[in-house]
Amino acid sequence: MKITKRQLRRIIREAVEETYLGLEGPWHEVVAAYIARGPGKGSQSATNMVLNKLHMGPDLWRTQEDILEDMLINLGPNATPEQIDAVSIEFRDGVRGDKPEWMPQTRAEMEVDWARAGRPRTDYDRRS
């Protein structure tokens, strides 16, 4: 598996934040702390942690990752471990069940999803 410079920077940044900024402990607490930071870097980090916990990642559509991020943002800053688990399970089951609304349906939609590649998401006001 090839890791880009951007991915490596993100991995290092998250490791430093978890170690030096007090985001240690059970993964639910770390995810909740990231969610509390709001849309953007906090919610993206929370999404990545949930995907890592579920052993999912590079084979997902960006659209699916955005859906998980929206689900986590909608939990709000006071997310409980039970809520985080419920969202994680709902997402895992939705991906495994190939929910059509969670994936690009046409070739054009697929190409738009692929074109996003590693670019950060910017449409929080429109979707959340």
Q: What is the pLDDT of residue 74?
A: 92
Mean pLDDT of 69-93: 89
Task: List, in sequence order, every beta strand (DSSP E) within 26-120.
Answer: none
Q: What is the pLDDT of residue 5?
A: 84
The per-residue pLDDT for range 27-71, each reduced to its tens digit, is 788 888 888 888 877 888 888 888 888 888 778 888 888 899 999
Could you tell me which residues come within 8 angstroms of residue 116 by beta carbon, excluding any fewer than 6 positions away?
A: 62
Element (H, E) at 105: none
